[in-house]
Amino acid sequence: MSLTTPRADRLRAVRRAWYRFRRNPAAVVGLAMVLLVFVVAIFAPLVAPFPEHVGGFVDFRNRHQPPSWTHPFGTDNAGRDILSRVIFGYRISLTLVVFVLGLAVPFGVLLGLLAGYYGGWVETVIMRLTDVFLAIPALVMALAITAALSPTLLNSMIALALLWWNWHTRLIYTTVASLKHEEYVEAAKVAGASDFHILFRELLPNCVSVISVKTTLDAGFVILIGAGLSFLGLGAQPPTPDLGTMVSSGANYLPEYWWGSIFPGLAILFTILGFNLLGDGLRDLLDVEVN
Amino acid sequence: MSGNLLELNQLSKRFPVRKGLFQRVVGHVNAVDGVDLTIGRGEIVGLAGESGSGKSTVARMIVGLLTPTEGTVTFDGEDVSKQLGTLAFKRRVQMVFQNPGSSLNPRRSVADALKVPLRVHGVPSSTWAERIRSLLEMVELPATFAQKYPHELSGGQKQRVAIARALAVQPELIVLDEPTSALDVSVQAKVIELLLRIRDELDLAYLFISHDLSLMRNFSDRVGVMYLGKLAEMGTSDDLFLRPQHPYTQGLLASIPVVSEAEEALKPTQRHLKGEIPSPANVPSGCRFRTRCPHAFDACREVAPTFHELSATHASRCHLHDPALAGSAEPTKA
Amino acid sequence: MNTVQIFGTIDPAKVTDYTEYMAAANLYDGLVDVDETGAIVPLLADSWEVSDDAKQFTFTLKDGATFHDGSPVEASDVVYSVRRLLTIDQGPSYLVRDVLDVDGVQALDNNTVQFTLSEIFSPFLTTVPLMFVVNEEVVEANAVDGDWGQEYLNNNAAGAGPYMLDSWTRGSSMTVKRYEDWHMGWHAEAIDQVRWLVTNDEATVRSLAAAGDLHMTSQYQSNETYDALANSGNFRVVEEPTATGFTLKLNTKVAPTDDVHVRRAIACAMDYETIREFIFPSDPMAGPLPPSFGDAVLDTIEVAEYDLDCAREEMAQSKYAGQDNIPISHLYVANTPFEEEIALMFDAVFTELGFDVTLMAEPWNLITEMATDVNQTPNVNQIFFGPTYPSADSMLFTQYHSDAAGTWASMEWLQDEQVDSLIDQARRTADVSEQNELYQQAQARIMELQPNAFLGLQTVRHAMDNCLEGFRYVPMQSFDYNFSNYSWTCN
Amino acid sequence: MPDDAPLLSVRDLRVSFRTFDGQADVLQGVNLDVPRGTRVGLVGESGCGKSVTMKTIMGTLATPPARVTHGQIMFDGQDLLTMPAARRNRLKGTDMSMVFQDPTTSLNPVFRVGHQMEDIVRWSDRRRGIQRNHKARKARVLEVLEMVRLADGERIYDAFPIQLSGGMRQRIIIGMALLNEPRLLIADEPGTALDVTTQDEILRLMDDLVREEGLSLLMITHNLGVVRQMTDHVYVMYAGSVVEDSPTAELFDNPSHPYTKALLACVPKLDGTATYEGIGGSLPDYTDPPAGCRFHPRCPHATDRCLTRPPAFTVRPGHTAACWLHEPEAHA
Amino acid sequence: MEYLFFVVRRLLWSVVVLLGLSIVIFTIARVVPGDPARIALGPLAAQEQVDKLRTEMGLDAPLPVQYARYAGGLLQGDLGRSLLTQQSVNSDVRQTFPATLELVLATLILALAIGLPLGVLAGRYKDSLFDNLGRFVALFGVVTPSFFIALLLQLLAGYVLQILPVSGRLSPNLEFEANRTGLLLIDSLIAGRMDVFGDAVRHLILPTIALAAATIGQIARLTRSSMIDVSRKDYIEASRAFGIPNRITTFTYMLRPSFIPTLTVLGLEFASLLGNAFLVEMVFGWPGMASYGVRAIMQNDFNAVMGVVMVTGLFFVLINLVVDVLLGYVDPRIRIKGSQS
Ligand SMILES: Nc1ncnc2c1ncn2[C@@H]1O[C@H](COP(=O)(O)OP(=O)(O)OP(=O)(O)O)[C@@H](O)[C@H]1O
Ligand SMILES: Nc1ncnc2c1ncn2[C@@H]1O[C@H](COP(=O)(O)OP(=O)(O)OP(=O)(O)O)[C@@H](O)[C@H]1O
Ligand SMILES: [Mg+2]
Ligand SMILES: [Mg+2]
């Protein structure tokens, strides 16, 4: 136990984490994939070969062109460049993720904290509510809600946000229910700390790794379910380039014009895979139990 | 007895036991059942007893983590059972937990941990840094430790931080719930030494909970032995270790593995205890120790024994001390 | 044959959509039938007479017609059926409910039925084919609590039509088989059995065809499917022009399509040729009435052409001239690729013209819902409309008359007094040429108001097995799928 | 094979772990002998390598991250480390056995006690080439249950571990270890998870059984009192090597190594004569251990000599200490 | 006894969950913009017709009254009447549910048959080539959208190789009515119609694979990690130390305890399996409850939507009850102590 400065220690801890992360090649690949998707989405207008094909654009004389150098992914039924639309499609997917998780995670975490910490009727009410939401597939519920609100991208995001909190609530609830018996929580109580302090300063920081791993994994699944919704026609509406919608409208032209469906599908797969590899890597790194 | 810092009067705690289709309350665990205990200023009182005997429950009631079902906690002449949660009281009574690993939040630095009581009890924030430094100094840790996180500390160091945290608001009583049971003997010795030094410096009183009787012998002025929620025997260290009266105390002492012949000679020659501790949810009738007691006789089954004052400082809860009842049974030799 | 929708009900008093009428047309017969020219021809009735005031219609039943259970078709059955239709009041009854009540239909004797209308309604005769005749005894025997046998007819058929219900799995298939004693008799190559398969996608259609399990596709397949089937060698694609118009209905009551110049701009800015050639194969359509309505058609109307300059000019004259990002909404039926393509095309052109286009894809029944409220009706609506009964009235009244406003057929919300009065007059005129004159005036007025962009006349296309013959377009609700008119030419 | 050769003999055992911080040389040449029919103790503070030693002997150490870099483990004259895995497994199933520390985690919670015990009999039978049917095997299980003083064997046979108390479970674990009639019993802190009185009872029972069955016992613990009560000979371990070994009584009377002395001094005494000096400093970091004697940074007697690793010097017959203080010349 | 109480309590609780679900879904259904009466009558109906039907359907009553009526019906197992098929939702569900059940059961069986051994072996031979391969396969199963797998399978097996039918449940030329259990595979065997059986199996293959992929992945991953967790337990070390052969240790002593978390999560994962069924049924034109549900949702057939959601919820709850019972069988800790909450 040599004497070191706290900063050097901290640095060492970060290096150690990165070292452990790096030893998991899958996680590194996942990180790279996620970063790639983010970069491509952010700089979409610069990256996409035909950015104008994304909005109101049709060229029916060029419909269903097979993949070529000009159109690496081919063109769709309105003669639009599929690659460009995929690239812009990532914007939609990521917006979906950010919106849904941005709303659902804080809300779910808060409920989970309250239920786990207070127990009693607070727990009963919150956890039974999550049971109700659990009893029905997210996709089905999202379908029902989206259809009820009329199918638009915003509505499907709202529907998913309305459903997603319960997973985080459950996770945080179990985590907190076991953490609250930790002696450090009791120690804080003995010191006179308020519930607020205990919830947000003592318990929440200990949920961060669980939350971040779960959120990373969820990002993939939000995209998955979002794609499912738009596959059924309840997501973003044309001409917005949504990946799920592209797969489903491309499916009308299978098998001859397979590229219209396959490339957007692979693009979805790519993101979800990226988020999952990253999430799995983080889970190993932070050594937490999710699920 | 009015000079006592802390008085427990018939303190009891029952936990409901739920069962059946609708999880109705079908009974109670009498975790603590009518405990009387006093601690004077600057005194170290030990509480011994095996797992599940209710030691921690007593501790948690004293610091206000649990509310007693019955009985009172009097602190400095004031009945605080109803206001266990108040800040003024909390400042004066602190607690150090068993496990140094889990009593510090892994996500918060040493300084963060020490700031909690300071903030809560209204210490002006300008003085915090200074205060933290002097607290660390008091527990013999370098000031640089303020920025460390628990995982960077050894067990003994963590326990020192926990002690520093308890000292932060200048309490008068610290409840130590098995503070060294997770530590190696060599580390334990250092922590115990530290506790004793601080007691002398600050004139603190300790309630010391442990099932290590050898440690108890050395550390405490007076010791109580608990069995299934009740005090079985209470006396000064000498009373208890040189003249154990309750068969349970005797059995307990006989079970201690010791390292020298000298100690071996001090152990009661009594037969070893057999069998398991009954469940506190289903306490035996009469004397709760009778199921394992080598001297049990008929009366033990029917009548719950009361405390017999054997001297001014020594009391034991056993029918053997009652000549009327123990007539038939052979009395123990001291 | 495949269908893309499921059969909801087969109760002739409740059928509403194309698929349901298709089932009813095969299982049931009415008093009269419609041929491909739109003429009314005898079916269960041999002959009929119209009173001078055009309010009384008397039908004489033919002899020897029997229901599927063998019992004879009698006047009482007809009366029962019509009363049932009017009482349940859910299916085709909307056509006549205003002019006919339950006492308006009487059996004069065992084989004479008389209808008495409360006011003159010249197209009445053309609605009679939709009054399918049910077997009174069977229905009543199975009725519960005077429900007119609704529960029973929901799942069973009790008609006198050419085919009898054989098996029916809702959501997947329905099979009907020939009723050997059908009163019209059978020709040698007649179809024995018809099975409709409900399909959800093109892939299924193609694989069914490849496996030899499909001999005729629905009219709603994609170009690719037709091509693929035609290339397979076993199929040919049969095209028939129809009287069904595919139009953009422009809501005349909400901005910016409340301005006739904007509407004309829209009419100028559609690339009709591309649509007809690449997106939705169809015939040119000039005005509100398809050419098949013969003398009623105003033949001076020219077919519109794609002309962006014209569109710009019209825009310049409109009250929205000079504005940018004028919001305009465009509605089409969700999950119909060609409609989506037209919508995309619209989007591309009108974004260019300075509009802020919102595309709305909705399921059909939501569209019908939106149509009931003028403010919920989008500016531009892609709608198919064909005659439900073979009369120009069906085209004009249903789409353009104020009384018909609030349905999907009249999403223009035209509500023009002049048009209304012309249509009303025509309805009350028994004289045909006078009537045609009125219809032509109405068309002229409508063209002036330009409530539509006429994209084209649907050519209905089916891929049909080379051995299957007999598809003819009939200007009446699914009557072209009466399989007794089809034949199997191979052995 | 001479009969006086020890049953188990560990020679210069070295084990390393691969960690982020580099290679951790945990065992640094452990030597210990378990003579036939004796009870040998291995004591030392937490983290000194007791369990690693035991796991290496039993062959349950996870490799990687661990690696045995050097040494011999002779059992009955055969080297466990070099023999084929199958032979070693055979020995495990027959001649060696162990008692685990924690009775709550060492029994499989989802199988009946009888099932678990009978399986052990079945496989040890197979290894020995014995044919026994279910009834005979069950009889053997019941016999052992009686041996460990569990009345009501039939009920316990059909019980799941959760239905039994900690003390009973610990007895069952001891019983399992005895089922295949081993010659060597290794016990890693048995019963420390139990109450003092129960633990005491278990230890006494084990002691009786070892004597009755004529077993050799290797007892691993950090409790010096337990060692004193249970063993004939003790090895004291510090940071991966044995620093002192001696007949038990002798060790407590005459501790020789400074570490042993300091450790004994730390143990609170029942006579109230404890000193609270403790041992300064802490256990070294295995990835960067001090050169020479690993105890020297904490040793009050440390000199430059200590930078070289001391061999085990004989203090008295049968009593050695690895400390330069006991170098014969130094004594002289 | 405690265990029985535990199961009964779960059962009672399930009823409450379903009731809660009915409130949620009722609320959602009632904000649907469509007018149910209008939907039922079709687009050309006159307004008076619509109003008449509204009153008949009880849509004029205040919402709580409507809910009370609906819930009353629910308790008697009456799901109301579908607007589109004009028949009771019960009979629609009765017609479509067996198809879904058949698909889902086949999926579960396939997923367990592949996922479990995959997980066990991967966990047993951690970090081996097989492990890495297995993890890769499992990961892809989990992350690939089921509809995409479905499309790929259709493309590959249906068009390119042309070996399997890509749509429907039975070739339309086969006349067969599954009227005993509704499950084609079973009914055809009972009827001795091997042709039907073979055809049904061929139709079942692709949808089952598409639906099972994610579940296989989940099971394999879970089993693998719980195998690894369990392999670190003291009792496994003990079993090895007592000389039980590795093979027995792995397949007996490790497998059963590692199955517990797998089973628990499998119960919860069942919801996403049902969700995926909605997509897969659509792609393969599987005439099941999910296709029925999607159609109902798309067309705002509110009674049908509520019916499908309720039945789905019921199915989920039932499966979890089965899981609870199985858990009690696998894990005596649950059976003996009963479990809290
Ligand atoms: N929150 C609770 N709910 C129910 N029973 C409890 C609760 N807390 C403690 N008990 C029960 O009360 C009894 C006394 O527990 P307590 O923790 O006070 O014992 P202890 O003497 O501190 O034991 P140990 O030495 O194991 O710490 C035990 O039987 C325990 O199971
Ligand atoms: N798998 C491992 N990877 C890295 N280091 C390990 C591993 N297992 C043990 N060690 C290290 O080996 C050293 C000795 O561990 P061991 O478990 O033998 O101690 P012990 O003497 O049994 O202690 P205790 O009394 O706490 O059981 C410890 O410092 C530990 O960190
Ligand atoms: Mg305690
Ligand atoms: Mg150990």
CATH number at residue A76: 1.10.3720.10
Higher pLDDT, A274 or A63: A274
Task: Identify the residue whose tokens are 């009395």.
Answer: B331
Q: In what order do the strands lie in the sheet with D8-19?
A: D22-34, D8-19, D66-75, D78-79
Residue A16 lies in a domain: no
Domain range list for chain D? 8-95+182-331, 104-181
The chains in contact with chain D, meaning 3 or more Cβ pairs closer than 8 Å, are: A, B, E
- Protein residue closest via CA to atom 8 of ligand 1: B57
Residues C199, C205 contacting (CB under 8 angstroms)? yes
CA dihedral C100, E50, C200, E182 (to 10 degrees): -100
pLDDT for res A5 = 56
Mark out the alpha helices in chain A (DSSP H runs): 6-22, 25-42, 44-47, 82-118, 120-134, 138-149, 153-179, 183-190, 195-197, 204-231, 243-251, 259-286
Task: Identify the residue whose tokens are 């087969």.
Answer: C10
Residues of chain C with pLDDT under 70: 171, 200, 365
Check if D26 has its Cβ closer than 6 Å to any atom of ligand 2.
yes
Residues of chain D contacting residue E253, judged by C-beta atoms under 8 Å apart: 108, 111
pLDDT for res A263 = 92
DSSP structural state of residue B273:
P
Per-residue pLDDT at A3 exceeds 60? no
Domain of E150: which CATH number?
1.10.3720.10
Per-residue pLDDT at B333 exceeds 60? no
- CB proximity list for E181: less than 8 A, separation 6 or greater: E98, E187
Residues of chain E contacting residue D111, judged by C-beta atoms under 8 Å apart: 252-253, 256
Among the atoms of ligand 1, which is closest to the Cα of residue B226?
Answer: 21
Check if D222 has its Cβ closer than 6 Å to any atom of ligand 2.
yes
pLDDT for res B328 = 55
DSSP SS3 for C22: helix
Could B21 and E2 be called an inter-chain contact, meaning their C-beta atoms sit closer than 8 Å?
no
Per-residue pLDDT at A4 exceeds 50? no
> What is the tens place of the pLDDT at every residue in D104-150?
888 998 899 999 999 999 888 888 888 888 999 999 999 999 888 88
Among B168, B223, B159, B225, CA closest to B195: B159
pLDDT band at B334 (very low <50, low <70, confident <90, very high): very low
Of the residues E128, E242, E247, E256, the best mutation for testing chain D's interface (the one with the most D CB atoms within 10 Å of its CB) is: E242
Residues of chain D with pLDDT under 70: 1-3, 274, 330-332
Residues B320, B295 contacting (CB under 8 angstroms)? yes
Residues B73, B58 contacting (CB under 8 angstroms)? no
- Protein residue closest via CA to atom 16 of ligand 1: B54
- B&D contacts, CB < 8 Å: 120
CA distance A57 to C351: 9
Nearest ligand, measured from the Cα of B177: 3
Q: In what order do the strands lie in the sheet with C193-198?
A: C2-3, C193-198, C173-178, C163-169
pLDDT for res B332 = 44
> What is the tens place of the pLDDT at every residue in B300-332?
888 888 888 888 899 999 888 887 776 655 544
pLDDT for res A285 = 76
Residues C22, C481 contacting (CB under 8 angstroms)? yes
**For chain E, give me the number of helices (H) and strands (E)?**
15, 0
Q: Is B178 left (phi over 0), alpha (psi -120 to 50) or beta?
A: left
Find the helix or strand (DSSP H, E) in which C194 lies.
strand C193-198
The answer, for B24 touching chain E at a CB cutoff of 8 Å, is no
Q: How far does the CA of residue B83 sit from the closest CA of chain A (Å)?
A: 13
Per-residue pLDDT at A82 exceeds 50? yes
The answer, for A8 touching chain B at a CB cutoff of 8 Å, is no
pLDDT band at A2 (very low <50, low <70, confident <90, very high): very low
**CA distance readout (Å), B310 to B314, B316, B320, B334, E74:** 5, 7, 12, 12, 73
pLDDT for res E43 = 57
Residues of chain E with pLDDT under 70: 1-2, 31-36, 38-47, 84, 86, 172-175, 337-341
Residue E131 lies in a domain: yes
Closest alpha carbon within chain C to A235: C361
Please tell me the distance between residue B57's alpha carbon and the centre of ligand 1 in angstroms.
6
Closest alpha carbon within chain E to D173: E238
The answer, for E38 touching chain C at a CB cutoff of 8 Å, is yes
Mean pLDDT, residues B4-13 taken together: 90
Closest alpha carbon within chain A to B148: A6
The answer, for A193 touching chain B at a CB cutoff of 8 Å, is yes
Residue E151 lies in a domain: yes
Q: Which CATH architecture has domain D8-95+182-331?
A: 3-Layer(aba) Sandwich (3.40)
pLDDT for res E136 = 86
**For chain C, give me the number of helices (H) and strands (E)?**
15, 18
Residue A18 lies in a domain: no
Residue E66 lies in a domain: no
- CB proximity list for C99: less than 8 A, separation 6 or greater: C117, C118, C119, C121, C124
Chains C and B touch (3+ CB pairs under 8 A): no
Write out residues 74-113 of C within 8 Å (CB-CB) of A: none
Mark D301-330 as b/e (b = at least 16 C-beta within 10 Å): ebeebbeeebebbebeeebbbbbbbbeeee
Q: Which domain holds residue A40?
A: 24-286
Could D167 and B276 be called an inter-chain contact, meaning their C-beta atoms sit closer than 8 Å?
yes
> What is the tens place of the pLDDT at every residue in D199-216?
888 888 889 888 888 889
Among the atoms of ligand 2, which is closest to the Cα of residue D220?
Answer: 22
> How many other CB atoms are found less than 10 A from the CB of residue B186?
24
The chains in contact with chain B, meaning 3 or more Cβ pairs closer than 8 Å, are: A, D, E
Of the residues A23, A136, A290, the best mutation for testing chain E's interface (the one with the most E CB atoms within 10 Å of its CB) is: A136
Option in A1, A19, A20 nearest D285 (CB): A1
Write out residues 20-59 of A within 8 Å (CB-CB) of D: 20
Q: How many domains does chain A have?
A: 1
Nearest ligand, measured from the Cα of D47: 2
pLDDT band at A212 (very low <50, low <70, confident <90, very high): confident
Could B190 and D276 be called an inter-chain contact, meaning their C-beta atoms sit closer than 8 Å?
yes
**What one-character-per-residue DSSP string does A252-286 give?**
TTTTTTTHHHHHHHHHHHHHHHHHHHHHHHHHHHH
Option in C197, C203, C334 nearest E172 (CB): C197
Residue A229 lies in a domain: yes
Please tell me the distance between residue D48's alpha carbon and the centre of ligand 4 in angstroms.
8
Q: How many domains does chain E have?
A: 1
CA distance D179 to D122: 10
Over pLDDT 70: what percentage of chain C?
Answer: 99
Residue A127 lies in a domain: yes
pLDDT for res D311 = 87
The answer, for E8 touching chain B at a CB cutoff of 8 Å, is yes
DSSP structural state of residue D78:
E
Could D266 and B237 be called an inter-chain contact, meaning their C-beta atoms sit closer than 8 Å?
no
The answer, for E49 touching chain C at a CB cutoff of 8 Å, is yes
Mark out the alpha helices in C97-149 (DSSP H runs): 124-127, 136-141
Among the atoms of ligand 2, which is closest to the Cα of residue D237?
Answer: 21
- pTM for the model stands at 0.82
Which of the residue ranges A137-151, B101-115, B140-154, C314-328 would you say has the lowest mean pLDDT? A137-151
CA distance B124 to B131: 10
Q: For a substitution probing ligand 1, which of B12, B23, B29, B181 has the most ligand atoms within 8 Å of its CB? A: B29
Residues of chain A contacting residue C279, judged by C-beta atoms under 8 Å apart: 60
Residues A258, C224 contacting (CB under 8 angstroms)? no
> How many other CB atoms are found less than 10 A from the CB of residue C221?
23
Residue A128 lies in a domain: yes
Q: Which domain holds residue E121?
A: 93-301
Among the atoms of ligand 1, which is closest to the Cα of residue B98?
Answer: 27
pLDDT for res A1 = 38
Angle between helix A153-179 and A138-149 (nearest 10): 140
CA distance B139 to B127: 19
